[in-house]
Structure 1
Amino acid sequence: MNRYLQDNFAPVHEELTAFDLEVSGTVPDHLDGRYLRIGPNPATDPGEGYHWFLGEGMVHGVRLGGGRAQWYRNRYVRAVGDDFAPNTNVLEHAGRTLALVEAGGTPYELTTDLETVGPYALGTVTGGYTAHPHEDPSTGELHALSYSWTRGNLVDYSVVGTDGRVRHQVEIEVTGSPMVHDCALTEHYFVVYDLPVTFDLGMVAGEAPRPQQATDRLIDQTLRTGTARPLPYSWDDDYPARIGLLPREGSGADVRWFEIDPCYVFHTLNAYEEGTDVVIDVVRHDRMFATDFTGPNEGPAYLTRFTVDTAAGKVREHRFDEHSQEFPRYDERLTGRRHRYGYAAGVAAAGVRTGDSVLKHDVVAGTTTERRLGAGREVSEFCFVPAAPDSAEDEGVLLGYVFDPGTGRSDLRILDAATLDDVATVHLPGRVPAGFHGNWAADPAQT
């Protein structure tokens, strides 16, 4: 049976609403808002060919305020017409709660209570949007790299203003048609990954149709019918691996490319400039979708630093430690600026699911602290929330859902970001399946 339909990957089908949730410990007073997280949650049986990335999106949220856990809700993102329900990220921007997916998908707006409003076009971005925009803390703008199999060898850098509209967009020519899940931002550069996971016509059909026919067939089979089909991206040994630096107000012709050893990057921790170097901390996979075509399961992945020496025209690579991990996060007040700390979910030895540990990296001291949350438990991505706007880099809390197989339910765990000690546990009425990204959406009065 498909592993991504079993255990904590299995979907939940009941939409729950619960108020005044039980809490162990004390919810900090500064937490006034919603913790939101999204993931794939097939509404019907997708069959054995199901790829984890292709399930309909479901958002899970907990409202915290006044030292209480006021409510929990989980809701499907309800697609309109032939759209695909976003399943990869959920965040607050320009006063709107947005559910995001990549590869040409349209963002969807949700209400505060997580009901679906409908598509939100952002004004618009060519070829759809991305799952991984990065907000510049100095301007509040969202910087993003969008891709789609319909765009051939073009990807799009866009900047969305605080009004929710695109103010700047640049086409960038890449080697082929890569999957570009994330990007990075520094003070002067936008960082582009051009890596060897690429659109594969053979994954769409037995024969090799023309590109537009392949696209139409994929949309028809996967998005309209809901029938499981493989994700049409796979590892390409012949594709070069490289990092591009685009001046933030430059044109596509201004990108400067730097070759690296073959690898794949789903997620950036953070990036910044140091003299003529550009430092990029990522979780590095040796390869992806080379042997397993149902989900990311090609062995361990490690926190790695790429240092782009712009003067010498080369890249140095350094692995921080030997913990396999994913879903790196940091204090996003430091986006594009030098950081010291990062956090990640430890990945179980089998490489298929997260384990029971939360990791804290000190990239200056070169040390890693591991907090085990209990044998058999499964952690998800943890995001950082500062104690106050001017608090220190690790002065605050981490928020993330943790599944407890002993009870069959999940908790929202709140950890001290400095020590990884328990602050509070919010006990949920149901299970939050293994999923993707979450964010803290502060009450407007707190932002």
Structure 2
Amino acid sequence: MSNMFLEGLFAPVTEEITAHDLPVTGTIPPELSGRYLRIGPNPLGSEDASTYHWFGGEGMVHGVRIRDGRAEWYRNRWVRSRDVAAKLGEEWPGGPAVENFDLAPNTHVRGHAGRTFALVEGGFRPYELTYDLDTVGACDFDGTLPGGYSAHSMRDPATGDLHAIAYFFGWEYVQHIVLNAAGRVTRTVNIPVEDGPMIHDLALTERYVVIYDLPVTFSMERAEAGVSVPYAWNDAHPARVGLLPRNGTAEQVRWFEIDPCWVFHTLNAHEDGDRVVIDLVKYPKLMVGGHLAGPTPVLDRWTLDTTSGKVLQETLDDTPQEFPRIDERLTGQRHRYGYTVTSSDFFGSGRAGEALEKHDYLTGRRERHDLPGGCGVGEAVFIPTAPDAAEDDGYLMAFAHDPGRSATDLVILSAQDFTARPLATVHLPVRVPIGFHGSWVPDTV
């Protein structure tokens, strides 16, 4: 039996490498100093194609170090969970992993409080990494994290706090977690929910944390069948969106009923008087009959009217797209620009991203940047040219497959000249499998 997530551009790589002084076409902007990091599933050892689920593969982080206009190194490293360390014949680095519930994070990697964290959801703990991407160990943020964490968190630009929503099938609630700028949990709120919903992302505004309670929930049937990700579409679970006041209690969450759908990723949210406006990628359904995705993901805008209690759900762009990002200095505020990955057949063709798109929410204009070969581009991360630069005055970084070399490039685009050739293309010596999320971690943070 074949499994597209073990084949083609998704196929795992089998070696960890370190390469120095990478070749570059074009010119890397000299003000860039830091690491571009990206993570994804990279199963270690033979996998049963009939049962393997992309979300469950052991995480491997990939990184490119940039300084003084040079690409100094590329590294790829498995995150050393207990199981990964055992498979590699190494001693587990240790740390406060939940006993008998440990996974090598595979979904997001980011810098915070001068440290580097690999992240996953579903009740698992983060893992801390060194600057060079070696594993420090499982992490509970210096003893302040009561349970698992989330793959996604949103940084409040005003405070430096990270906000996240964590879930676990054994809880009768989901948990809002605030991680302060020093890397310690300062607040947790348990919000009761039914059926054990999967919650991949959240949204943040000036006054609210936005919670998605949608019809993909824990499935005991799938768990008993040994499925590694035992969640499925649940027609009996109502779809709703909650507004938790930033410093509020669970009793203060206000819920808004919406049409059944699924959301992996938020682009951004902001407040407009008594309305909360959320831009996101919506799936009509997800994880039906054991399949990962449902119908085409589209770019939506949801407007929650806190006066009337009504919700307006509208599709802004029905082009298939995913992995939305913004200039994160505007998280929770009104934004003009957003960046997504587009594909004619997400998760169905084995190609994943075919091009990058830029959306101008003021004019409605959409621009498309096609990569050579037309396939295999991942999520694009925005980096401003300077801390006080205007929105869209910056660069976009993404991994893109080069079919001519059967390897991967790190492309650096000008956000303001989006359709032009990349400013720089860093040529990696190997293929990076299609994966999930990443970050630019500047050396100044």
Question: What is the TM-score of this pair, normalised by structure 1?
Answer: 0.92
3-state DSSP class of the match of 1:63? strand
Shift of 1:103: 0.5
Partner residue in 1 for 2:108: 89
Aligned residue pair count? 421
Partner residue in 2 for 1:438: 438
Partner residue in 1 for 2:128: 109
Shift of 1:319: 1.0
Q: Alignment partner for residue 243 of structure 2, among 227, 242, 245? A: 245
1:216-235 superposed matches below 5 A = 229-235=227-233
Partner residue in 1 for 2:150: 130
Partner residue in 2 for 1:270: 268
Q: Provide Cα deviations, 1:173-216, integer angstroms capped at 9, x if missing partner.
A: 1232100000011000000000000000000115xxxxxxxxxx
2-structure distance, mates of 1:281, 1:17: 39
Shift of 1:351: 4.3
Q: Alignment partner for residue 236 of structure 1, among 225, 234, 237? A: 234
3-state DSSP class of the match of 2:170? helix
2-structure distance, mates of 1:182, 1:37: 18
Aligned amino acid, residue 348 of structure 1: S
Partner residue in 2 for 1:23: 24
Partner residue in 1 for 2:86: none
3-state DSSP class of the match of 1:53? helix
Structure 1 unaligned regions, length at least 5: 207-217, 219-228
Aligned amino acid, residue 430 of structure 1: V
1:166 aligns with 2:185: yes
1:29-44 superposed matches below 5 A = 29-44=30-45
1:329 aligns with 2:330: no
Aligned amino acid, residue 398 of structure 1: L
1:367-406 superposed matches below 5 A = 367-406=365-404
Q: Provide Cα deviations, 1:333-379, integer angstroms capped at 9, x if missing partner.
A: 00100001000111233643423210001112122111111234311
2-structure distance, mates of 1:25, 1:350: 30
3-state DSSP class of the match of 2:104? coil
1:137-216 superposed matches below 5 A = 137-151=157-171, 153-206=172-225
2-structure distance, mates of 1:26, 1:8: 27
Shift of 1:300: 1.0
- Bigger drift between 255-264 and 318-327 goes to 318-327
1-structure distance, mates of 2:81, 2:408: 26
1-structure distance, mates of 2:303, 2:166: 24
3-state DSSP class of the match of 2:224? coil
1:344 aligns with 2:363: no
1:307 aligns with 2:303: yes
Contact 2:373/2:402 (8 A) holds in 1: no
Partner residue in 1 for 2:73: 71
Contact 1:175/1:194 (8 A) holds in 2: no
Shift of 1:299: 2.4
1-structure distance, mates of 2:295, 2:434: 18
Shift of 1:310: 0.6
Q: Provide Cα deviations, 1:34-68, integer angstroms capped at 9, x if missing partner.
A: 00000000001121210000000000000001001
Q: Provide Cα deviations, 1:102-127, integer angstroms capped at 9, x if missing partner.
A: 01111111000000000110233333
3-state DSSP class of the match of 1:355? coil
Aligned amino acid, residue 58 of structure 1: M
User: Percent same amino acid among aligned pairs?
Assistant: 52
Contact 1:321/1:368 (8 A) holds in 2: no
- Bigger drift between 432-441 and 339-348 goes to 339-348
Shift of 1:238: 1.4
- Bigger drift between 138-147 and 77-86 goes to 77-86
1:351-362 superposed matches below 5 A = 351-352=347-348, 353-362=351-360
1:52-67 superposed matches below 5 A = 52-67=54-69
Aligned amino acid, residue 436 of structure 2: F
Contact 2:170/2:196 (8 A) holds in 1: no
2-structure distance, mates of 1:75, 1:348: 31
Shift of 1:136: 0.4
Partner residue in 2 for 1:224: none
Aligned amino acid, residue 177 of structure 1: G
Question: What is the TM-score of this pair, normalised by structure 2?
Answer: 0.92
1-structure distance, mates of 2:14, 2:339: 31
1-structure distance, mates of 2:165, 2:310: 23
1-structure distance, mates of 2:417, 2:324: 17
Contact 2:118/2:128 (8 A) holds in 1: yes
